[in-house]
Amino acid sequence: MVYHPVSRISLGLTAFLLLLAVGPVSVWAHAQIASSIPASGSTIQPGITHITLRFTEEISPDQSTAQLVGPNGSAISGVKSAVDRADRTIMNVITPALGEGKYTIKWAAVTDNDNGHTNGQIVFTVAASSGASRSDSSSGGTSVDSTIASPGAGVGLGWILALSALVVTLVSLAVGMALRRR
């Protein structure tokens, strides 16, 4: 069987792209928010003092941070953030009791395994104390059921790259097979 130079290139490209498609997608993905309490976009009752951020992978306890920005656009004083050392996918943010208004958590995460830096924000609203609707069924207003925030951009990019590599691989295989039949 005689191979044409084009088919050798096609086979080499196919092998390379298969390695990309099958290889670890997490190389392209860094820590992103998997969920949060309160969830991004939710409305909660006044008085919350504990916010939980859950990440898609372990983050550095020494380099990852979060700050809370209040309705007036400035950082809230007295806020403490810390990565849970027992479960390094969780960051806890302890705040003074929050009153009515729109709040933004600005987070920055660093992964130890690849020193990947990511950041983002979660916005939620604390309702007025009278007649406000709740986004959870718990009592006391200090905890909200977790819901999935949007998937991380890095994770989506990794899957897109892997899928693209797979499509190119399949096209390369089809071209290689067509050339072989000639």
Each domain of the chain, given as residue ranges in start order, spans 1-29+152-182, 30-151
Share of the chain above pLDDT 70, in %: 62
Over range 45-52, report the average pLDDT: 96
Q: How confident is the model at residue 177 (pLDDT cuts 50, 70, 90)?
A: confident
Burial class (CB in 10 A: 0-12, 13-18, 19+), 127: middle
Over range 5-22, report the average pLDDT: 60
Q: How confident is the model at residue 129 (pLDDT cuts 50, 70, 90)?
A: confident
Q: Which tens digit of pLDDT belongs to each residue from 61-73?
A: 999 999 999 999 9
pLDDT on residue 113 = 83
| pLDDT of residue 149 exceeding 50 | no
Q: Which tens digit of pLDDT belongs to each residue from 150-174?
A: 333 344 445 455 556 666 777 777 7
Rounded to whole angstroms, how far apart are CA atoms 92 and 102? Answer: 19
Share of the chain above pLDDT 90, in %: 51
Q: Which one is the CATH code of 30-151: 2.60.40.1220, 3.10.129.10, 1.10.260.40, 3.40.50.720?
A: 2.60.40.1220
CA distance to 19, 30, 35, 72, 128, per residue, from 44 (Å): 47, 29, 16, 18, 9
pLDDT on residue 2 = 55
Rounded to whole angstroms, how far apart are CA atoms 64 and 83? Answer: 7
Query: For 165, phi and psi rounded to 5 degrees?
Result: -65, -40
| pLDDT of residue 28 exceeding 90 | no
Rounded to whole angstroms, how far apart are CA atoms 33 and 57? Answer: 9
What is the dihedral sign for C-alpha 136, 140, 141, 143? negative
pLDDT on residue 134 = 43
Amino acid (1-letter code) at residue 40: S
Higher local confidence (pLDDT), 156 or 180: 180
pLDDT on residue 114 = 83
| pLDDT of residue 41 exceeding 80 | yes
Q: Which tens digit of pLDDT belongs to each residue from 79-125?
A: 999 999 999 999 999 999 999 999 999 999 999 888 889 999 999 99
Strands of 33-37's sheet in order across: 80-83, 90-94, 50-55, 33-37, 147-148
